Chain A
């Protein structure tokens, strides 16, 4: 895996945590009282935070899946090469 991609993964993880922060911010910063109707800001933060969590999680999962697939292919090619050499 290219070193840039590793930093990219860290960035995606930061995006994931930013989503969690947005999801919780209305209640942590207390501009949304628990038990009351949600104000527009709360709705926006929950939807945006949720979308950000979903996007980041999906990116991390798919990136990991494809990275594993590439690693398996490389290992299979190496096995084939060694078998041909023997």
Chain B
């Protein structure tokens, strides 16, 4: 991976050298402004321009190689790759439901199921409590009757 970074850095420095070559005749004033270009100016400018273009292309190539390497290692994702499907919880068949309604149904289904279970348990507890109370009353009555018989 480091090799691509080194290559891109080298290419970028090459591009900077190309820019400098294009500007140098005017920056160092060995080319008078308005005058016909001298031989050194031609050499520097026409070496600098292709160097800039080629180095920029090289820099882009190295960076694309780096990106490919990162994707191959799984560090970077492809921008328009299909998302990995997540396993869904087993549930009843969805029928013709679709879109946001379907999503909402999937979200609410476990909640509603839990609520129903809770309600059923409460009903059972109430029934159990009623039956217990009825049994207590019967036992009390039976005890009273036994007492009256004893007398």
A residues lining the B interface (CB < 8 Å): 1-2, 4-5, 7-9, 11-12, 14-15, 18, 21-22, 25-26, 29-31, 39-42, 44-45, 48, 51-52, 55-56, 58-59, 62-63, 66-67, 70
Contacts and interface: CB of A to CB of B under 8 A. Distances in A.
B44 A44 contact: yes
B44 to A, nearest CB: 7
Question: Which secondary structure characterizes the binding site on chain A?
Answer: helix
Interface string B35-69: 00011110110010011001101100110110011
Contacts of A4: 61-62, 64-65, 68
Interface centre among B40, B44, B57 (most CB of A within 10 A): B40
A65 to B, nearest CB: 8
Contacts of A59: 6-7, 9-11
B24 A26 contact: no
B29 to A, nearest CB: 8
B108 interface: no
